[in-house]
């Protein structure tokens, strides 16, 4: 596996693969790999001749009071794991390589960035859209794989690709869960043993929501599900709800009636310190 730290080298390698008629699959990440990341790499490996994984903790998508400095990092371990999945090239630039002193561009999407995580994290999706645009221009992929755990991010990237005519197929990959249902996330590392145990309330709420919808014959007022999920989260004094929403799976618009096209999307804070998200289609 080749390790590349400069934008120029990445573009040169991508150009060479393209001119040799090889397809490129891109897996953008912020590192500290877990099974969720590895499943994205495997998907790219299955679908493309060459796989590029990027490992960059993107400062532009963190707010001033967020966890940029403490975000878990483990380069040696990540390198071995990516190599184990048959990744051909790992791109791990310094922030100064991605954002030079003269950098002044921001890609900003309108409606899809509003609500849900966008409401709690102002500027976050501008940072995501900007860095993903740069990564597309650097890695020149035919396909790019993103996790469905970041459901709003995936919708934003699909919109970005449509709006700016990127000739890239976006593949959304299902959430990978721990045995008890907790969605895998690099931020789970922040949880102590007790917090880890109660964090499962998000996936339990998803299970309960699916059951309520099935029992109601496939549709019911969204507020009933929202109230149930909020109380499942708030039964733990350590947990506070950031949002619980029922939205349309493709438009992300809030729905009054939950049905087979709905997604339950949630974010909570544990002990006011660890922010966890989860979501699931309710079909
Ligand atoms: O999902 C992530 O890890 C990041 O938001 C991404 C897509 C790599 C952009 O920095």
Q: What residue ranges do the domains of the chain occupy?
A: 2-173, 186-281
The residue whose CB lies within 8 Å of the most ligand 1 atoms, and thus the one to mutate among 28, 173, 175, is 28
CA atoms within 13 A on the CB side of 53: 31
Q: Which position among 37, 124, 142, 173 bears the catalytic label?
A: 37
Closest by alpha carbon to 109, among 174, 45, 34, 160? Answer: 160
The answer to whether residue 236 is catalytic is: no
- Owner of token pair 């998508």: 61
Residue 121: is it exposed, middle or buried by C-beta count within 10 angstroms (0-12/13-18/19+)?
A: buried
Q: Is the dihedral of CA 28, 74, 151, 269 positive or negative?
A: negative
CA nearest ligand 1 atom 5, residue:
128
Indicate the DSSP class of residue 229: H
Q: What is the pLDDT of residue 10?
A: 99
Atom index in ligand 1 nearest the CA of residue 28 equals 8
Q: Alpha helix locations (H) across the chain?
A: 7-19, 35-47, 75-84, 95-98, 116-120, 124-139, 151-163, 193-198, 201-215, 222-234
Atom index in ligand 1 nearest the CA of residue 150 equals 1
- Which residues face 247 on adjacent strands? 254, 263
State which CATH number among 3.30.1300.10, 1.10.260.40, 3.40.1080.10, 3.90.79.10 fits the domain covering 186-281.
3.30.1300.10
Q: How far is the CA of 160 from the centre of ligand 1 (A)?
A: 14
Decide if 152 contacts 118 (C-beta within 8 A): yes
Q: How far is the CA of 28 from the centre of ligand 1 (A)?
A: 6
User: 142: helix, coil or strand?
Assistant: coil
**Rounded to whole angstroms, how far apart are CA atoms 73 and 31?**
7
Residues with CB under 6 A from ligand 1: 28-30, 58, 61, 128, 131-132, 150, 153
**Rounded to whole angstroms, how far apart are CA atoms 155 and 41?**
20
Atom index in ligand 1 nearest the CA of residue 157 equals 7
Q: How far is the CA of 257 from the centre of ligand 1 (A)?
A: 31
User: 240: helix, coil or strand?
Assistant: strand
CA nearest ligand 1 atom 3, residue:
29
Q: How far is the CA of 215 from the centre of ligand 1 (A)?
A: 37
Long-range contacts of 248-253 (CB under 8 A, 24+ apart): 249/281, 250/155, 252/111, 252/112, 252/115, 252/116, 252/152, 252/155
Q: What is the pLDDT of residue 160?
A: 98
Atom index in ligand 1 nearest the CA of residue 56 equals 10
Residue 193: is it exposed, middle or buried by C-beta count within 10 angstroms (0-12/13-18/19+)?
A: exposed
Q: How far is the CA of 4 from the centre of ligand 1 (A)?
A: 18
CA nearest ligand 1 atom 9, residue:
128
**Ordered per-residue pLDDT tens for the chain, 283 residues:** 999 999 999 999 999 999 999 999 999 999 999 999 999 999 999 999 999 999 999 999 999 999 999 999 999 999 999 999 999 999 999 999 999 999 999 999 999 999 999 999 999 999 999 999 999 999 999 999 999 999 999 999 999 999 999 999 999 999 999 999 999 999 999 999 999 999 999 999 999 999 999 999 999 999 999 999 999 999 999 999 999 999 999 999 999 999 999 999 999 999 999 999 999 999 8
- Which residues face 280 on adjacent strands? 264
Q: Top-level CATH class of 2-173?
A: alpha beta
Q: What is the pLDDT of residue 211?
A: 98
């Amino acid at each position: 596996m080749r390790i590349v730290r400069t934008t120029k080298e990445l573009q040169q390698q991508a150009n060479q693969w393209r001119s040799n008629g090889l397809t490129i699959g891109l897996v953008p990440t912020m590192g500290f790999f877990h099974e969720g990341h590895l499943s994205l790499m495997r998907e790219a490996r299955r679908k493309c001749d060459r796989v590029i994984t990027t490992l960059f903790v993107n400062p532009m998508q963190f707010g001033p009071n967020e966890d940029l400095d403490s975000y878990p990092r483990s380069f040696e371990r990540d390198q071995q794991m990516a190599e184990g999945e048959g990744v051909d090239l790992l791109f791990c630039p310094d922030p100064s390589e991605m954002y030079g002193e003269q950098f002044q561009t921001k890609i900003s999407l309108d409606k899809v960035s509003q609500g849900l995580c966008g409401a709690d994290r102002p500027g976050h999706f501008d940072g995501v859209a900007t860095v993903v645009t740069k990564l597309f221009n650097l890695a020149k992929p035919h396909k790019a794989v993103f996790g469905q755990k970041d459901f709003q991010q995936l919708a934003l990237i699909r919109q970005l690709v449509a709006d700016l005519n990127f000739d890239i197929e976006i593949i959304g990959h299902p959430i990978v869960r721990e045995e008890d249902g907790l969605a895998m996330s690099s931020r789970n590392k922040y949880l102590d043993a007790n917090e880890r145990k109660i964090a499962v309330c998000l996936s339990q709420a998803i299970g309960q929501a699916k059951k309520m919808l099935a029992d109601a014959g496939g549709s019911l007022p969204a507020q009933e599900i929202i109230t149930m999920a909020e109380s499942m989260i708030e039964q733990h004094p350590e947990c506070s709800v950031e949002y619980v929403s029922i939205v349309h799976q493709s438009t992300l618009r809030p729905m009054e009636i939950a049905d087979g096209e709905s997604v339950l999307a949630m974010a909570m804070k544990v002990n006011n310190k660890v922010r966890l998200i989860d979501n699931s289609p309710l079909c």
